[in-house]
Amino acid sequence: MRILAFLAILAMTPALAAEPAKTAVFDIELIDMSQEAERGIREDQTRRLAMASDELRKLLQASPQLRLVDIAPQRKAIDDKAPLNKCNGCDEDLGKALGADLVVSGIIQKTSNLILSFAITVKDVHSGKVIRAGQVDIRGNNDESWLRGVRWVVKNRLLAEPLPIPS
């Protein structure tokens, strides 16, 4: 019985817990397939992308499994390679350059002003393997629906159970 109590205390001791994975979280990107796409970039959607990206970072930073790294040192390379969802693994290279173990990227696919789909992935930069992914469809193109989409994916898919952190 004493051994079990000792092991339980050991498991709860933060000093002995595994180091949080260094994680680069890239800005969420928009794929606009709606009829409005031909009108060009919309200020409200640009603002929502930044808002959703900030919320994603905030939620992931709150996880004791992750320690976010600053992506600013690779900002020019990120911008040059954008969109990251079409760069054939450049997100892993960018993550390595930032000293990260994991990279998180996401897209919002807009089908119409009513139907949007959020997809976010967590990848191991060393193997390129997706270790967790989540997707959700939302209805409504407003601040609250975008935030609700990001929050749902993080809570119910990305962090619903412990991440298999690479060693």
Structural domain spans, the chain: 19-158
Give the pairing of strands 130-139 and 115-124. antiparallel
Taking the C-alpha atoms of residue 15 and residue 165, their distance in angstroms, rounded to an integer, is 18
pLDDT at site 16 = 42
pTM: 0.86
89: Cα within 13 Å, side-chain hemisphere: 6
Q: Is the pLDDT of residue 57 over 80?
A: yes
Question: Which tokens is 3 given?
Answer: 């051994």
What is the structure's pLDDT at 9? 44
Identify the three-state secondary structure at position 119. Answer: strand
Given a contact cutoff of 8 angstroms between Cβ atoms, the answer to whether 108 and 146 are in contact is yes
Of the candidate CATH numbers 3.40.50.10610, 1.10.10.10, 1.10.3720.10, 3.40.50.2300, the domain formed by 19-158 belongs to 3.40.50.10610
Q: Which of 8-22, 59-73, 118-132, 145-159 has the lowest mean pLDDT?
A: 8-22
Tell me the C-alpha distance between 58 and 51, whole Å: 11
- Given a cut of 70, whether residue 2 has pLDDT beyond it is no
C-alpha span between 163 and 122 (Å, rounded):
9
Residue 103 to residue 107: CA distance in whole angstroms:
14
